[in-house]
Structure 1
C-alpha cells in the first residue's frame, strides 16, 4: 500500500511539473495563449519579406514597419486577411476602421495600421485598392499589402504564428489577432480583436517611446 501511495505521489508530482512546463508556470493553457506569452517575453523580428501595396509599389515589410515607412511611425498594428473573406475578416476590417477613427480624432501617436493579405495570388493591387476604398481607409494611416512570392508568404505566416488553412473551396480558415510591431520590425504583442483599445494603447506607448 505504501509503495502504491508513493508511486501515486510521484506521478502527481511529474504531472504537475509537466503541466507547469507546458503552461509557462500555469500562465497559459492554450496554444494561442502560449504564443502571446512567448511574443511578450521574446519579441519576434519580421523576416525579410518583399511586399506590394495597393498602388503596385514594391517595398520590404521591414521598411514599411520602420520609421521610413511613413510619418516617423514608432509602432504599427498589423492584421492578416484576404479580400474574398466574408467572415472574420469583416470583423477585422471593422476593428481597423475603429482604430483608424481613433487615430484620426486623437493627437498624433506615432501609430499606423497595416493589413497584409495572405491570398497573394488573387489579391493583386487593384483588389487591394477596391478593398481599401470599401473600408474608407486613409492611406496616410492604413495601408494594404500582399506578399507576391508564395514561399516568402509561408515563411512570414510561420514566423508570426498566423495559421491559414485552405478549405478547398477557395476560402480559408485562419486565426485572427492584432499584432503590434515596433519601429525595428519586431512583433512585441498579440491582442484579441476584442482588445483593440489595449492594442492601441500599447502601440501608442511604443510610439511615444520611439519619439526623438
Structure 2
C-alpha cells in the first residue's frame, strides 16, 4: 500500500499539483484508484463535473461493501463515519475473510479497524514519500502492482468461497467484469460483476434439500 501511495505522490506532483493538495487528496479523499483518476483528469483539463462523476463511478463498489460490513460497523455514528472512510478493497477482504473463518462480529470489527488504519497510514506515508521523492519512485506498473493487488484480494477472499454456490457467484461475477470492463467507463465493469449474484437465485443443492 505504501508503494502504491508513493507512486501516486510522485505522479501527482509530476502532474503539477502542489504538495499540500497531494497530501490532502490522500488524507481526505483516500480513494486509491479514484485519486489516480482525479490527477489524470485534472492534468488533461477535464471539467470538474466529469472528475466527480468518474470518481463516483469508480468507487461505487463501496455501496455493496457497506452492505456486507453493516453489522461490523454498527454502533455510534462516529464509528460508522470513520469506518466508511477506512473502507477499502483490502480492508473489506480481510474482514470478510475473518467472518468466514469465525463468524465473530467483534473479532471482524477489530480486524477491520486494524487493517483499515494500517492501510490508511501506509498509503499516506507513501504518498508523502512519493510527493517529496518525485521521480525516484518511477513507473508503478514496473513493479507489477496491477497483478499483485488482484492476486492478494483473491487470496484473502478464497476462504469465503468454499461453498459451491459462493464459487459460482464469484466466477460468474468475475467473467462479467472481465468481458465488460474494456467497453465501459472505469469502474462500471466491476459494478456489472454484481450480476454474478443471479447465480444465487436458485441453488440446485438447496432446492434438492427442500424438495
For the criterion TM > 0.5, the same-fold answer is: no
Structure holding more helix per residue: 2
How does the TM-score come out when normalised to structure 2?
0.22
- Normalized per residue, which structure has more strand? 1
